[in-house]
Structure 1
Amino acid sequence: MAQITIRQIPDEVHRALKAQAQAQVQGKSAEALARTILQRGLFPADRVRPGDLLRSIWKDADLEDVSFERDRSPIDAASFE
């Protein structure tokens, strides 16, 4: 996992983070609580995820009688020279 250092956090924010972490039922560390806050802030539970968006676009499409022909011609090998 990557690491990050956040400098110049106001004292009141640091105290509030430690107090809130201590008040948690599991007694989280301030570091664990900061990770949780960052994750929830960056990836909210109600966000639209790409797979869900694609599924919603195609959910009413009638593709039962659709068929695609596969190209079975040989492929050229990649050259990395």
Structure 2
Amino acid sequence: MADVLIRNLSEDLVAKLKARAAGNNRSLQAELTSILTAAVKPTLEEWWAEAAAFRERSKEWNITDDSTDLIREDRDSR
């Protein structure tokens, strides 16, 4: 895993982060990891845009919701 060093944080900010970590029963490192992880998660709008793009890409895969033909083909091949 990589390390990140953040310099020149105010004592007040560090105290608030430590208090937040304690309130969540986490170490300061775990709290900062949680904060940073949440910060880079896609927004709901980004998620829906990615889902729409995936749907567009998957149209060419010729996937159907009805498996009847596949089941019939499998049964007929026996």
TM-score range relative to shorter protein: 0.5 to 0.7
**How many residues end up aligned between the 2 structures?**
62
Tell me the CA shift for residue 42 of structure 1. Answer: 1.2
In structure 2, stretches of 5+ residues that fail to align are 64-78
In structure 1, stretches of 5+ residues that fail to align are 65-81
Q: Alpha carbon RMSD of aligned pairs, Å? A: 3.0
The equivalent residue for 1:70 is: none
2 CA distance for matches of 1:38 and 1:62? 36
The equivalent residue for 2:13 is: 13
The equivalent residue for 1:40 is: 38
1 CA distance for matches of 2:14 and 2:42? 23
Tell me the CA shift for residue 30 of structure 1. Answer: 0.8
Query: Could you list the per-position Cα deviations for residues 59-80 of structure 1 after superposition, in whole angstroms to 9, with x for gaps in the alignment?
Result: 667936xxxxxxxxxxxxxxxx
Q: State the identity as a percent.
A: 21
TM-score with structure 1 length normalisation? 0.58
Alignment of 1:57 onto 2:61: no
TM-score with structure 2 length normalisation? 0.60
